[in-house]
Structure 1
Amino acid sequence: MAPEHPAPAPRAAADEPAAALHAHGIVKRFGPTRALDGVGLTVRPGQSHALVGRNGAGKSTLVGVVTGLHRPDAGTVTFAGAPAPAFGDRAGWQSKIACVYQKSMVVPDLTVAENLFLNRFEGERIRWSRLRRRAADLLAEYGVNVDPDARARELPVEQRQFVEIARALSFGARLIVLDEPTAQLDARGIQRLFTKLRELQSQGVAFLFISHHLQEVYDLCTTVTVYRDARQILTASVADLPKDELVAAMTGERPGASTSSWRAATRATTAAEPVLVTRGLALDGAFEPLDLAVRPGEVLGVAGAAASGNTALGETLVGMRRATAGRVTVRGRTVRPGSVPHALDAGIGYIPEDRHRQGLVPERSVAENATLTVTDQLGPWGTVLPSRTREFARAMISSLDIRTQGPEQPVSGLSGGNQQKVVVARALARKPAVLVAVRPTAGVDVKSKDALLGVVRQVADRGSAAVIISDELDDLRVCDRVLALFHGRVVAQYDSGWSDGELVAAMEGMHGGEGRHGVDGMNEAGANGGEGER
């Protein structure tokens, strides 16, 4: 493993182009907090360079420095050998570097063409036919097959990302920061994104790739830099770095020293009455009639890609969508279809897929976000007492180890993993009988992932039931039983101990029809804890 204080990047050879980005000795403080402690980073033209680390390691602060959002307290930044633009020179920075965030920055109600040229015609008369032609030419130049007249909201996630990349390149930038670009993509979307990135790399475009999905680092990148606790720990060739050493650099633990606490341990007893039951539950265009029975102490996984219907199933269980057939019961009580308040009252807690859009009110405090579902318990006669809100929030902060300055801190100021813990706190506030979690660890680091899945396991171990809906294999390892969905239909069921290959094959429609129990084994809830359609 490389030393904890890496030396400056070597100079390029005489015939080698200067680094697309070279940052050296960067120090950044926010009050008494040192967010970056002499870190560096070098990205070569045509390279995909991964920057990884736990939440709070300093990755976002470094991105802020190299994109001109933060002024460093010490250190230098150069692009293609030239000093970075002056702080505040927006146009100068746009011509050097751009960032495509996990949360799309396109304007959904504008067309692709309008998004591409947004804010470029201040005080000018816009000729719309010319704008559309220029947009078509720009998209064609970078091989982006998107209709310039399409509304941005109509595009799949990866196509919205292509539009953002094309917009950045049109300013002259040859370096793109990709911040968790795959968090909202299924396997096919990731493949399409990576194919496009490789095409652009062949044209000399460089990418700084930030992801918590380490397999993607090995699939796409040639070099990886690890930050931990505001310091640069190593920079290494991906091909020469074993995965356990990469994880060890991120966590500070010896390779193989830690074991995950959230793997499935024991099966729930089949003799207990189910907590959650669905009978013939269906949603037209999303999933076929489905019978489920989830018992006390059980974590059920529902695996599937974005088009499988698994997310729609989760949203139907919690009342965000109205089922077109069938019913849901919790401990024998029928849940009113399409009613989130009724689902809450019935005992269903919900961790949504998109914490930014569905899970948080960013301008509100940690306390306010954590108590959104229990405002009726925070004061007499419908009032909300601030003191009781803070007291409740402090208990949740302590139990979930939420790293925050206190209950009053705006939730927008937390790292991604801690924001997700606030969402979990809100879901657990009513002590739910059933916890439904959709991709609960999307965009969080290794340690936060372990903690979040441990919470789900604990909910079940205390006698409730849990349902994890995800295409992330690590999310599903906590489950006692996993159903694989493909195009809205259950195609296989597995007990814990499944192999990655068999589950991925089932999710991708390459399954032969027989899981660990096979689909036939799901017909009797009393035998296997749940039911599925043949």
Structure 2
Amino acid sequence: MTTQPDQTAEPQPAPGLRLRGMTKRFGSLVANDAIDLDIEPGRIHCLLGENGAGKSTLMNVLYGLLQPDEGEITVDGEPVRIGSPKQAMAAGIGMVHQHFMLVDVFTVAENLVLGREGGALLDMRRARRTVRELSDRYGFAVDPDAVIEDLPVGVQQRVEILKALANDARFLIFDEPTAVLTPQETDELIAVIKSLRDEGRAIVFITHKLREVRELADTITVIRRGKVVGTAEPGESEAKLAELMVGRSVNLTVAKAAPATEGDPRLVVRGLSVTGPTGVPVVRDVDLDVHGGEIVCIAGVQGNGQTELAEALLGTVPVSAGGVELDGTPITRLTPRQRIDLGLGFVPEDRQRDGFVGSFSVAENLVLNHVTEPPYASGIGLRVDRIRAEALDRVAEFDIRTQSVDTPVSALSGGNQQKVVLAREMSRPLAVMIANQPTRGVDVGAIEFLHARLVAERDRGTAVVIVSTELDEVIALADRIVVMCGGRIVGIVPANTSREVLGLMMAGVSADEAMRTAATTTEDVNEVIT
């Protein structure tokens, strides 16, 4: 006798994590607008979008760091309420944060048990064993007794992953995980993420880097201004993905009408050293010449002295040794104001803190560095008509999207805020232009414009120095590349240097050794192929 299947049985819900109608508001700003998302086991789901698009906000809601105003979350078809990270972990959700959630003075094992204390005594022996087992399983090579502050950033990120895996997370969120990694560390992380997917875990990978999306994604969802604006296949071109991100076609290459002219040295740095607030040297014996008509990009993993070097050139941090000349004039003892008057332009790393006054209007910010001088001032009064006329010209020239030149800069988007800073610095004759992370937090369309303006400044004979942790930006803009590690210049190499060599140098390998290593690796690969 054959038993017939029960036709009335309800279908089993598909395994996975579902978000429906997720909405998060901050006052009048709708950061997430009725977002639907399916996160499936055994797949890598890339959330693609520019900084400020709402990607991280959505994942912070999913992980319980923020509470939604509307929407529902289900796990394997069952509604769940996630009011805290602890509840997220209980639901099988783990998150690897862009800014590590580690206690620097604790060991790896101690960080692993944080939030899981079961009483007066902690099972540190079990925590150490878990670190070793997971580390061996994924090839992490992490010592459970190592103190976090003594570990390189790449290893610290592995500790973040270990924390999520120790909680047996089925759903893993990676929020901009490659922001502080060398190219080699990025490749290692990508291999780990793929292995986690192959084990059946569901991965959410948040990024704005098109190269990584095409390398990793099984599914791509594009978010723009808090809304899902489309999905894409992993095989889509970078140009198509960029168009989805910003809503129009974007030129992803930097056009240079001519090679660098390389005139006389305009910025000369000799033996420059800077000591940090704790008494530890953060810039060590830097020698550098930057010629008029060239772009020199300073590359390196964040925190290797690039920011302190840029600030020392402006004069906002004291130098402990060495000196700087601008067009032959020693400026080491000059104030930032005096350096600006000699033709130094500066775009700071943190525009909101150091680049503008948010409550001031666009017009006022565009003349901040010369507001007390003619033609913007007369005696003790300001010439408001002249300031407004200058602002209207700069807004048109730099395509600053604002309702009015009287609009507070704080009301503008990140890209337009950066355009205000750049327009102010480039509205006068410059000898040297220093731009620290010039496109951080800026959408692809604005990046295209800002890059073009930096190249135009170089073509006018200005010596341009760009500090960037974005290797794509460095390769696209540079006429020469300076690589820093541990506060020192590891080497100065041509713009066509390979990513592999640059990555090795960013880890502290000398230029000659990095080139030999890269050449040997290429030979080994060719032997395998043949």
Q: TM-score, normalised by structure 2?
A: 0.69
* Cα deviation code 1:90-137 (max 9, x no counterpart): 532232334333222323344334433335449x53x4xx45424323
Letter in 2 for 1:212: H
Give 5+ residue unaligned stretches, structure 1. 1-12, 514-534
Q: Which residue does 1:453 correspond to in 2?
A: 451
Instruction: Specify the alignment match of 2:508 in structure 1.
Output: none
- 1:431-455 alpha-carbon deviations (Å, 9 max, x no partner): 8642323443356442242244344
Check the 8 A contact 2:482/2:491 in 1, yes or no.
yes
Query: Does the CA contact (< 8 Å) of 2:272 and 2:283 recur in 1?
Result: no
Partner of 2:90: 95
- Call closer, same or farther: CA 1:375–1:492 in 2, change over 3 Å: closer
Q: 1:266 to 1:308 in 2, by over 3 A?
A: farther
Cα distance, 1:215 vs structure 2: 0.6
Q: How many residues are treated as equivalent by the alignment?
A: 472
Larger radius of gyration: 2
Q: 1:369 to 1:192 in 2, by over 3 A?
A: farther
Alignment of 1:100-499 (within 5 A): 100-121=96-117, 124-125=119-120, 127=121, 130-143=122-135, 144-238=140-234, 240-253=235-248, 257-259=249-251, 262-267=254-259, 269-270=261-262, 273-278=264-269, 290-295=287-292, 297-303=293-299, 314=310, 317-318=313-314, 322=319, 327-336=323-332, 348-351=344-347, 355=350, 361=353, 366-367=358-359, 401=400, 433-442=431-440, 444-460=442-458, 464-470=462-468, 472-476=470-474, 479=477, 481-483=479-481, 485=483, 488-490=489-491, 492-494=493-495, 498=496
**Relative to structure 1, is the Cα distance of residues 15 and 404 closer, same or farther in structure 2, using a 3 angstrom cutoff?**
farther
The alpha-carbon distance between structure 1 residues 85 and 365, as it changes in their structure 2 partners (threshold 3 A), is farther
The structure 2 residue matched to 1:40, chosen from 36, 41, 48, is 36
Q: Whole-Å Cα distance in 1 between the matches of residues 342 and 335 of structure 2?
A: 11
- Map of 1:528 onto structure 2: none
- Indicate conservation of the 8 Å contact 2:13/2:76, yes or no: no
SS of the residue 1:168 aligns to? helix
Cα distance in structure 2, aligned partners of 1:423 and 1:120: 46
2:203 counterpart SS class: strand
Q: Is the 8 A contact 2:46 2:207 kept in 1?
A: yes
Per-residue CA deviations over 1:117-174 (Å, capped at 9, x if unaligned) read: 335449x53x4xx454243233234324333443322222222222223333444532
**For 1:214 and 1:422, how far apart are their aligned partners in 2?**
26
1:343–1:208 distance in 2 versus 1, CA, 3 Å: farther
Q: In 2, Cα distance between the equivalents of 1:408 and 1:113?
A: 51
Q: Is the 8 A contact 1:323 1:337 kept in 2?
A: no
Would the alpha carbon gap of residues 121 and 223 (structure 1) be closer, same or farther in structure 2, given more than 3 Å must change?
Answer: same
- After superposition, the Cα gap between the structure-2 partners of 1:159 and 1:430, relative to the gap in structure 1 and judged at 3 Å, is farther
| Helix, strand or coil at the partner of 1:60 | helix
Change beyond 3 A, Cα 1:277–1:134? same
Shift of the alpha carbon at 1:342? 8.0
How far 1:187 sits from its partner (Å)? 0.9
d(CA) in 1 for partners of 2:359, 2:476: 29
Deviation at 1:286, TM superposition (A): 7.7
Q: Residue 65 of structure 2 contacts residue 85 of structure 2 at CA under 8 Å; is this kept in 1?
A: no
274-283 vs 243-252, greater mean Cα deviation: 274-283
Unaligned runs of 5+ in 2: 1-9, 275-280, 505-510, 518-530
- Local SS of the residue matching 2:215: helix
Taking the aligned partners of 2:151 and 2:427, their CA distance within structure 1 comes to 36
Q: Deviations over 1:208-241 (max 9, x none)?
A: 1111111111222222111234332323441x43
Q: Distance in 1 between matches of 2:395 and 2:116?
A: 45
2:527 — aligned with what? Answer: none
Deviations 1:170-196 (A, max 9, x none): 445322322211112111221232233
Verify the 8 A CA contact 1:48 1:223 in the aligned structure 2. yes
Q: Which amino acid aligns with 1:222?
A: D
Q: Which residue type is aligned with residue 437 of structure 1?
A: A
Q: Which amino acid aligns with 2:147?
A: R
Q: TM-score, normalised by structure 1?
A: 0.69
Counterpart residue type for residue 333 of structure 1: T
Secondary structure, in 3 states, of the residue corresponding to 2:50? coil
Alignment CA distance shift 1:104-1:451 (3 Å)? farther
Deviation at 1:490, TM superposition (A): 3.8
Could you tell me whether the CA contact under 8 Å between 1:261 and 1:454 is conserved in 2?
no
Distance in 2, matches of 1:450 and 1:463, equals: 21
- In the TM superposition, what is the alpha-carbon distance from 1:329 to its structure 2 partner? 1.0
Q: What are the Cα deviations for residues 447-479 of structure 1, in whole angstroms up to 9, with x where unaligned?
A: 242244344335445653311244645423663
Distance between the aligned counterparts of 1:306 and 1:90, measured in 2? Answer: 28
Shift of 1:425: 7.8
**Segment drifting more, 342-351 vs 21-30:** 342-351
Partner SS for 2:256: coil
Is the CA contact 1:50–1:209 (under 8 Å) kept in the aligned structure 2?
yes
- Given that residues 440 and 475 in structure 1 are in contact (C-alpha distance below 8 angstroms), is that contact kept between their aligned partners in structure 2? no
Q: Does the CA contact (< 8 Å) of 1:361 and 1:369 recur in 2?
A: no
CA distance in 1 between partners of 2:484 and 2:327 (Å): 29
**C-alpha separation between the residues in 2 aligned to 1:139 and 1:409?**
50
Partner of 1:8: none
Query: What's the CA shift for 1:63?
Result: 2.2
Please give the secondary structure, in 1, of the residue aligned with 2:465.
strand
Q: Secondary structure at the match of 1:42?
A: strand
